Amino acid sequence: MNILLLGSGGREHALAWKMRQSPLCERLFIAPGNAGTAQIGENVSLSATDFPAIKSFVLDKNISLVIVGPEEPLVKGVTDFFRNDAALSHVAIIGPAAYGAQLEGSKAFAKKFMARHNVPTAQYAEITSHTEGVEFLKTLQPPYVLKADGLAAGKGVLIINDLGEAIESLKVMLEGQFGDASRKVVIEEFLDGIEFSVFALTDGKNYVILPEAKDYKRIGEGDTGLNTGGMGAVSPVPFVNDELWQKVEERIVKPTINGLHTEGIDYVGFVFFGLIRVGHEPMVIEYNCRMGDPETEVVMPRLKNDLVDLFQKASAGRLSEIQIEKDKRTATTIVLTAGGYPNDYKKGDVITNTVREDSFGEGGADAIIFHAGTKKIDNQIVTNGGRVMAITAYGDDIPAALSVSNKYAELVQFDGKYFRRDIGLDLLKVN
Ligand code: AMP
Ligand code: GLY
């Protein structure tokens, strides 16, 4: 079958890499893609939110499966657009309709959903009036967690130690610091623990759980400095033992998927559970309606199942037939960023010494280079974003995999390259 994947990051390169391995995959198009996806499929210059253009392309190229990588087209209703158009009704689309995408698109929607289905999460209040917000803040202990209700490009969460500062920040948020996204603010109790991520693929009723992962969001080693889109990830997460996994499945994954089903929510796609272990108990920090980036760059390499088959079964309501098989090895990924990121950074620097991703395990290459912000111009690959590449390697444990990721992170060259060398090492000390 012909497949269209929407998006252009490391996540999309990893999804494309995995789908390319399937005998079910004939032509694979990525819109808009990057220099890495162009090596294994056909990039198409289409915006992931230009739905009429996507429709023409899908019909023209006889596409029967569409995978939505990022959240924005989902929250804006790309799935509804497909469902409501008779000419597209035969096309399977992976990603929830807009109503269900609010699990990510509205923090207040997600919190109310969790409350209805007894999914463990932080105590909270949904605030539109500053006076009410101040009253609620006074009932909490510091630090204070303030979240813009809507999508804010990963920047909408503030964690503040001082009550006076939290009161002031709440005012600025409600006045539109993050545009309409923060006209409503969710204030939460602070949870103290260690975070990890779990990913389910659901057909709306049944689900499968993919390998878990942990990502590293801060720019600096030792988890210091500014928040980024993600500087690296590991899978598996050593502290996620059988007991914790069972609790996650029974208390969080099952009630969430059952909740979607019993509420009649049209949801065929990924649910990304951003979790935190508090003491020995898992709680939900957030839901996302898509895979994580850079988590996908370690999850896909550990997934043994045919991903296209999983997507077909998901859209046919047949995920109950699937048993997930995982590679036992550890995978680590290190993100190479452009100098200055997550603040201003340059684009257009030439990248050298990249390794073809399809040479993994052959010809001496023992890493997979997933491209993110890259672009091909005049036969050269140049930087085209803050997160440039994610370098994934396998090993028997985190240090072994990390040393290979590090080796290739050193080899790839571009002006201003930066990366963290400590991805996953903190986990060696966590029980
Ligand atoms: P979110 O966008 O909801 O995932 O929040 C971004 C980050 O803020 C999370 O990955 C956590 O590190 C942190 N965070 C969010 N909510 C809480 C909370 N209730 N307690 C502690 N940390 C939180
Ligand atoms: N790495 C976190 C995310 O994709 O939201």
pLDDT at 355: 62
Residue 181 to residue 174: CA distance in whole angstroms:
9
Ligand that comes closest to the CA of residue 233:
2
Where does the chain hold its CATH 3.30.1490.20 domain(s)?
123-189
- 122-166 residue pLDDT tens: 999 999 989 999 999 999 999 999 999 998 877 889 999 999 999
pTM of the model: 0.95
Ligand that comes closest to the CA of residue 71:
2
- 274-333 residue pLDDT tens: 999 999 999 999 999 999 999 999 999 999 999 999 999 999 999 999 999 999 999 999
pLDDT at 362: 45
Question: Over 70: is that where the pLDDT of 108 sits?
Answer: yes
Q: For ligand 1, say whether the CB of 275 is within 6 Å of any of its atoms.
A: no
Percentage, residues of the chain above pLDDT 90: 88
- Rounded to the nearest angstrom, the distance between the alpha carbon of 319 and the centre of ligand 1 is 31
Q: Which atom of ligand 2 is nearest to the CA of 294?
A: 1
Which protein residue has the closest C-alpha to ligand 2 atom 5?
Answer: 292
Q: Which atom of ligand 2 is nearest to the CA of 11?
A: 4
Mean pLDDT across the chain: 94
Which protein residue has the closest C-alpha to ligand 2 atom 2?
Answer: 292
Q: Which atom of ligand 2 is nearest to the CA of 288?
A: 5
Which protein residue has the closest C-alpha to ligand 1 atom 11?
Answer: 285
- Rounded to the nearest angstrom, the distance between the alpha carbon of 288 and the centre of ligand 2 is 8
Confidence of residue 359 (pLDDT cuts 50, 70, 90): very low
- Mean pLDDT of all residues in 345-364: 69
Nearby residues of 233 by Cβ (< 8 Å), 6 or more positions away = 213, 214, 215, 216, 292, 294, 295, 297, 298, 332, 333, 423
pLDDT at 328: 95
Q: For ligand 2, say whether the CB of 295 is within 6 Å of any of its atoms.
A: yes
Nearby residues of 326 by Cβ (< 8 Å), 6 or more positions away = 211, 236, 302, 303, 304
- Rounded to the nearest angstrom, the distance between the alpha carbon of 65 and the centre of ligand 1 is 34
Q: For ligand 2, say whether the CB of 296 is within 6 Å of any of its atoms.
A: no
- Rounded to the nearest angstrom, the distance between the alpha carbon of 233 and the centre of ligand 2 is 10
Percentage, residues of the chain above pLDDT 70: 97
Question: Over 50: is that where the pLDDT of 235 sits?
Answer: yes
- 173-198 residue pLDDT tens: 999 898 889 898 899 999 999 999 99
Residue from 284, 271, 246 nearest 118 by CA: 284
Neighbours of 231 (CB within 10 A): 30
Question: Over 70: is that where the pLDDT of 68 sits?
Answer: yes
CATH value of 2-97 in 2.102.10.10, 3.90.870.10, 3.40.50.20, 3.90.1150.10? 3.40.50.20
- 214-232 residue pLDDT tens: 999 999 999 999 989 899 9
Question: Over 70: is that where the pLDDT of 242 sits?
Answer: yes
Where does the chain hold its CATH 3.40.50.20 domain(s)?
2-97
Residue 159 to residue 176: CA distance in whole angstroms:
18
Residue 145 token pair: 């967690």
- 195-214 residue pLDDT tens: 999 999 999 999 999 999 99
- State which fold the 123-189 domain adopts: Dna Ligase; domain 1 (3.30.1490)
